[in-house]
Structure 1
Amino acid sequence: MRVVSGVYEGPSAHGILRVAASLKDVWVIFRASAHEEYFQVLWGPWARFEDRAPVSLSPAGGGTEDLEKDILEAVRRHPEVGAVIVARSDSALLSGEGVPEVRLPAREDRPRRLFRCPWQGPGIGENEAADLMLAELVREYAVPQEKTPEPSVNLFGAPVLDPRAEAEMDELQRLLEDLGVEVNARVPLGASLEDLRNMPRAWANVVLYREVSESATRFLKERFGMPRITTPMIGSAGTGAALRAVGEMCSIDGERVRKLVFRELARTAKLPWYTRLLSPRVLRGKKVAIFGDFTYAVGLGYALSREVGAEIAWSGTYLSHLEHDFAFHAGTFTEKTFVAEDPGEVALRVERTRPDLLIATHFEREAAGHAGASFLPLCPPAAVYPFVRLPLMGYRGAALLADAVDGALRRARRSSPETGPPEEPVWTGEALAALEEIPAFLRGRARRLAEKRARELGERRITREILEDSRF
């Protein structure tokens, strides 16, 4: 999630702050200019806990001596914390200021640790930094442990500020407990440093959100031999596949897994029922476009293409550091995959494709409206939405997805050319290229003015000349 308008990801400090604020026993020193107050968003209307976030500001520009004083002062004020993390804003990074080695006073039970995040850099985005931060903490704290007597797993989900973070965890924990598998730890949301230490007790790791847990779970696999399940648990088929994998890794009787899956399909999930009932007449010839992060974009693509039978025109992500992985997975349900970090570029793709249904981030709402596409903002970031208790993962998530797709495609059918408004003007390639030259924050207005001018002239095609004429 980014607070800055018009961009999909925040800088690296935002990812560090989100992971740290998700954990217990941790304090963050945010080294930044006085006006860079992103950390305040971690409490107030977005706060998950009643207490303020474990973050304090260390004003940049005062020298490393001041930073050392701020670190020691945080420990003095909060003697309960076991780890201190220093996160630097982009302006602090660009100033070349380093983080000093500081010897922290020890607690009675164990030493405190200082995390200086030397890997931070202006080119690292929010999600990649969150992944690196969690991996560094896991490497530091996880130690060899005896496995739990009964089957157990660690759940790796999204950090604080993701609107569905807790709801997704709750749904998957419900299913695992019905399967006879305990949850050893939920990471990072609500986890303590002791939970990180005890993670190797689990029999396997279930990765709900790869964006934040890819490096940590790979380390646990290499260091402790812990297998991981990475199948996106979105839709009935994806959820069932992941549960069967958990069953195999935890030596759960296959018949027990099948009974759980069939019971959930009968009582909870609506997606298979929806597909059998409505797919032939609602989805025939419908194009769907998807844009978002990694997990939700890939999981939704799998579910809609394989379970609902929709044609996925294209699927994109803004996570450039996961480009190859994304292309591999999304390439199984669409021939067109791409990475884009500019909402304007995504809007142009929507304009050229004119899908019947667009599933994307909240930034694509206006583009969907101009293209006449039904719109579902199901992919992070979701910067303006309150926390929700409805998961998109698991069988309950499959029911929510079925309802959402049904409503969206019914709206699309009602606004089809046979029953809906007159056909909108079509943009020529030259006009779209000219539109791309306009700054992103002005493109929406320029698009509306050009379409209005074309209708005034009775033209069904928007040319470069009409676009330029509409701006005067």
Structure 2
Amino acid sequence: MKLSVWTYEGPPHVGALRVATAMKGLHYVLHAPQGDTYADLLFTMIERRDHRPPVTYTTFQARDLGSDTANLFKTACQAAYDRFQPQAMIVGASCTAELIQDDPGGMAETMGLPIPVIPLDLPSYQRKENFGADETFFQIVRALARPRPRTDRITCNLIGPTALGFRHRDDITELTGLLADMGVSVNVTAPYGATPEDIAQLGGANFNVLMYPETGESACRWMERELGQPYTRTVPIGVGATRDFVAEVAKLTRIKAQIDESRLRQPWYARSVDSTYLTSKRVFLFGDGTHVAAAARIARDEIGFEVVGLGCYNREMARPTRALAREYGVEALITDDYLEVEARIEALAPEMILGTQMERHIGKRLGIPCAVISAPVHVQDFPARYSPQMGIEGANVIFDTWVHPLMMGLEEHLLTMFREDVEFHDAAGASHHGSTSQIEVPDPGEVRTDAIVWLDDAERELKKVPFFVRGKARRNTETFAVERGLHEIGIETLYEAKAHYAR
């Protein structure tokens, strides 16, 4: 029933699909009923991939339950091997097939296929998609990776990017360039773009870069323990985190920290006149734990927003998210129910939401601008252009993505605030053609406002209005006050005038 409405994470076999689809030379045989093939659409439609996922479904039907579904699985396994000739195979059951307890792993083992066959035990009714991806990749690494001599030059593995990940493809490109500037080459990127033969080469790198803890941390911990490879803990999303990441890599490798910031525009933009108007905007954050933690730091420390609430949907990240919330002085929201998220947003009434595709829908309903920072996402968040989240260019992209909705909101607000003005009212013609309206518009200059006194709180608030319309805002507010017999303008009067002219 939950899949018929919104859900932040699918069942764990969808996580396994993300790993299988990201890799090459790997095939996934999924014991599943007819209908569970819906997962294919996640990749071909939402991610706009040019090929279908490497998955064979048994697609048993209701009439098969009284016969030998195990034999159907074996037949599907053999057919997949014969047709695709993969280097390795993973086998498992969907949430529905798990109920009939056919043991895909045990059955595949008895078939004697001449390739590694890796069984997946994904508890569909206790865990979810991110766990499924993390566990699947861990099992692949544990089965195929072995100790190897280190490469001649300093190299690392990029660990964690999968299919259907939020900007994973572009993050790989950005990090590869960032590391190259330091003299560090990438040995293997996995699972994205890797083959089973590549997985066997993981042990040759000096260290691992954990890009996404949700989908790669178990494998990194195993490689640290079994292959002697340390891994980075800093996720380089944002200017500060990128600098910290470079420093961490330098410490691990004992090479000089170097970072080319010639493309970095975000800090200057964040200090510009237009952006300082946005300082102290109240924002609410929700998504996976890793992206929420990164976004909170950017919001508070790099752009100057006020974080009024945050949370995550993946319970594996509940503890660090709660600790983060305490640091920011807010209450953490750990839930996978979008209705709870909507209720919290309504209660906090933020000026902007930083969230997932779900929060984008919530924002539309509540009239609050939203920028997407985390999966789950829809087709518009798999752009054809280069649009990373990590590294130097990622910081620029994030600034644009977050600030533009607020600037558009400012533009709409100004148009409504001055809609009675001779240039902006509904019947006015295009400004570059001159006014063609015959409608009489009240002239604020006809009202005497020289006796009005502005209180300090209202003056401070008025200074937040961009300078090129500040005078108009002052005159409109004074007119509003005089018409109501007021001799002083406080912050409440300023807000009332703003609401009046925005009608």
Match of 2:21 in 1: 21
Inter-CA distance 195–328: structure 2 relative to 1 (3 Å threshold)? farther
| 1:406 corresponds to 2:403 | yes
Inter-CA distance 401–278: structure 2 relative to 1 (3 Å threshold)? farther
Match of 1:369 in 2: 364
In the alignment, residue 237 of structure 2 is paired with which amino acid? I
Q: Is the 8 A contact 1:138 1:196 kept in 2?
A: yes
Q: Is the 8 A contact 1:20 1:28 kept in 2?
A: yes
Inter-CA distance 379–47: structure 2 relative to 1 (3 Å threshold)? closer
| 1:324 corresponds to 2:339 | no
What residue ranges of structure 1 are gaps of 5+ in the alignment?
422-472
Q: Is the 8 A contact 1:282 1:410 kept in 2?
A: no
Identity of aligned residues (%): 27
Inter-CA distance 404–386: structure 2 relative to 1 (3 Å threshold)? closer
Distance 1:50 1:286 in 2: 41
Match of 1:90 in 2: 95
Aligned residue runs from structure 1 range 305-344, under 5 A: 305-344=300-339
Between 83-92 and 93-102, the greater mean CA deviation after superposition: 93-102
Match of 1:195 in 2: 198
The C-alpha deviation readout for 1:127-157, integer Å capped at 9, x for no partner, is 1111001011111111111111211111123
Distance 2:411 2:182 in 1: 42
Match of 2:219 in 1: 216
Match of 1:380 in 2: 375
Distance 1:274 1:170 in 2: 24
Aligned residue runs from structure 1 range 184-263, under 5 A: 184-254=187-257, 257=258, 260=259, 263=260
Q: Is the 8 A contact 1:104 1:113 kept in 2?
A: no
Distance 2:140 2:235 in 1: 24
Match of 2:83 in 1: 77
Work out which of the residue numbers 116, 120, 131 in structure 2 matches 1:117: 120
For residue 37 of structure 1, give the secondary structure of its aligned residue in structure 2.
helix
For residue 87 of structure 1, give the secondary structure of its aligned residue in structure 2.
strand
Q: Is the 8 A contact 2:17 2:53 kept in 1?
A: no
Q: Is the 8 A contact 1:9 1:125 kept in 2?
A: yes
Q: Is the 8 A contact 2:387 2:394 kept in 1?
A: yes
Distance 2:213 2:6 in 1: 24
In the alignment, residue 36 of structure 1 is paired with which amino acid? D
Distance 2:48 2:276 in 1: 43
Post-superposition shift, 1:317? 0.7
For residue 380 of structure 2, give the secondary structure of its aligned residue in structure 1.
coil
In the alignment, residue 408 of structure 1 is paired with which amino acid? P
Distance 1:411 1:44 in 2: 32
Inter-CA distance 42–27: structure 2 relative to 1 (3 Å threshold)? farther
The C-alpha deviation readout for 1:61-98, integer Å capped at 9, x for no partner, is 3421221222122112222x122212312111123332
Match of 1:40 in 2: 40
Distance 1:315 1:347 in 2: 12
Between the two proteins, the alignment pairs up a number of residues equal to 408
Post-superposition shift, 1:48? 6.6
Distance 1:74 1:284 in 2: 57
In the alignment, residue 391 of structure 2 is paired with which amino acid? G
Q: Is the 8 A contact 1:232 1:298 kept in 2?
A: no
Inter-CA distance 150–347: structure 2 relative to 1 (3 Å threshold)? same
Match of 1:54 in 2: 54
Distance 2:180 2:3 in 1: 36
For residue 358 of structure 1, give the secondary structure of its aligned residue in structure 2.
strand
| 1:393 corresponds to 2:390 | yes
In the alignment, residue 161 of structure 1 is paired with which amino acid? L
Match of 1:291 in 2: 286
Q: Give the TM-score of the pair, scaled to structure 1.
A: 0.80
Q: Give the TM-score of the pair, scaled to structure 2.
A: 0.76
Q: Is the 8 A contact 1:48 1:160 kept in 2?
A: no
